[in-house]
Amino acid sequence: MNPFRVAVAVAIKDLRSEWRTRELVPALAQFIVLALLIANFGFQIDARDAPQIVPGVLWLALVFAGLVAFGRTFSAEREQASLEAMMLTPASPIAIFAGKAVAATALLILCEAVLVPALSLFFGTALDPGVVFAVLLATVGMAALGCLFAALVARVRARELLLPLLTLPLWIPFIIAGGQAVQAALGLPGNYDEAVGLLIDFDILFVVLTSLAARYVLDE
Amino acid sequence: MSVVVANRLTHWFGHDMALDSVDLVVDAGEHMAVLGDNGAGKTTLLRVLATALRPTSGTVEIAGLNAFREKRRLRHYLGYVGHTLGLYPALTAAENLEFFCDLQGVDRARVDGVLDIVGLRGDAHRRAGQLSRGMQQRLAIARAVLHEPRLLILDEPDASLGADAADLLATVMRNRTVVLATHDHSLANRLCPRTLNLRHGRSVGTATRLHVVK
């Protein structure tokens, strides 16, 4: 049994399902645009104070879009009872988890492809590759954690409430390091390389930890 | 040789007892029907035997292995059709099976043959969500036999299948050990020489060949 083949099959299956149903990405993209619109009017941002406020708006929009995206990864499987069918195959739970996390990450990256240019459009900040890189790095670790907790809460009734309660505290390191990286990339004081280094460390730590925990979460 | 040996299986859902000290032995190649009213514990028993649900107490051995300690080793051995079908509605019938080929580690070339057996070859490229309930049931049966399991656990597989249900089931059950839950006594009588009767989670005895009074 090749775990790589399993992970690829799971990821392709999820992406194909999303492509055909278009349940998640259009709604999330719409949510992101609305969040930016509200922030734009709410904060009365001008060109001078945009770099101070934009990182906060970016991470708020990303965090809430991420919660919705990762919450759907396992709740849809539970609703149609297909997770049990998957778990009754000899496929490794870690490979199944990896496939689902990769697909959720890809979907969130699609939403980020709307978010980052829209930020630039609404707030007049430069479309900096440093911002894109920091957001992508944070997405990896956030996806690993988000998918693990989504799998954990998928079987309980109050999952929509529990997922943010469990996930948000553990996303804080990504928001702090990511926020610093984005601020530095937008020309505010701060060390970009140091913040990106931290993001990479967090990614490695949480990807390894969630992979180890996934077996127990999915199996039982 | 016994393929399934279950001892004193008991399962509680909260304060409700779903299974109460059920014992069960199924020999190699044997077909056994599990009968009982709604809520008798048939689905719970079958989910335990399929290793989808860990019982509160009791043991299950399948092919000589502890079903819960060695469940990953037993996956190749077991095929299961549950009460809920667990199909992907946005994928076609063929894509559903190809996906499970990848998860089972079997060649995707098996898909056409299995679709043929369940009579869905002509609907291979229709989305599972657009198939009728009976066709979805056939697809779930196809998925269960994709990896040629030696033990088949079927929870009301005849539901929505139509007139040829017994013939289809007889085909997929051939040369396999089968535990099948159904409400249809005549189907059980035709397909299974032995039955286990459940009432309120308790075994009320096994019987060989039912005599159906018309």
| Interval B110-136: pLDDT, tens | 999 999 999 999 999 999 999 999 999
- The predicted pLDDT at position B212 comes to 46
Contact: B84, A220; criterion CB under 8 Å? no
- The predicted pLDDT at position B189 comes to 87
The residues on A that touch B, with CB distances below 8 Å, are 1-2, 5-6, 8-10, 13, 16-17, 20-21, 80-91, 96, 220
Distances from the Cα of B172 to the Cαs of B77, B138, B177, B207, in angstroms?
15, 11, 11, 23
Q: What are the beta bridge partners of residue B180? A: B33, B154
Contact: B105, A17; criterion CB under 8 Å? no
Architecture of domain B1-77+165-214: 3-Layer(aba) Sandwich (3.40)
Q: pTM of the predicted model, to two decimals?
A: 0.88
Inter-chain Cβ pairs, chain A and chain B, closer than 8 A? 70
| Interval A172-189: pLDDT, tens | 999 999 999 998 988 888
- The predicted pLDDT at position B94 comes to 96
Q: Give the residue numbers spanning the domain of A85.
A: 3-219
Most confidently modeled range among A66-75, A90-99, B92-101 = B92-101
Which residue in the set A9, A85, A90 is minimally distant from B86, CB to CB? A85
Average pLDDT in the A196-213 region?
94
Q: Confidence band (pLDDT; 50, 70, 90) for B146? A: very high
Domains in chain A: how many in total? 1
- The predicted pLDDT at position B209 comes to 60
| Interval B37-79: pLDDT, tens | 898 999 999 999 999 999 999 999 999 999 988 888 899 999 9
Average pLDDT in the B137-164 region?
91
Whole-number Å distance between alpha carbons of A185 and B36: 68
Q: Angle A129-153/A50-79 helices, nearest 10 degrees?
A: 30
- The predicted pLDDT at position A156 comes to 80
Contact: A87, B80; criterion CB under 8 Å? no
pLDDT at B214 over 50: no
Contact: A17, B91; criterion CB under 8 Å? yes
Give contacts of B85 with chain A, Cβ < 8 Å: 81
- The predicted pLDDT at position B185 comes to 87
**Residue ranges of chain B that CATH labels 3.40.50.300:** 1-77+165-214
| Interval A124-154: pLDDT, tens | 887 888 999 999 999 999 999 999 999 888 8
Give contacts of A103 with chain B, Cβ < 8 Å: none
Task: Kindly identify which residue of chain B lies nearest to residue A78, measuring between CA atoms.
Answer: B86
Q: Please state the three-class secondary structure of chain B as a single string.
A: CEEEEEEEEEEEECCEEEEEEEEEEEECCCEEEEECCCCCCHHHHHHHHCCCCCCCEEEEEECCEECCCCHHHHCCCEEEECCCCCCCCCCEHHHHHHHHHHHHCCCCCHHHHHHHHCCCHHHCCCEHHHCCHHHHHHHHHHHHHCCCCCEEEEECCCCCCCCCHHHHHHHHHCCCEEEEECCCHHHHHHHCCEEEEEECCEEEEEEECCCCCC
Whole-number Å distance between alpha carbons of A33 and A28: 9
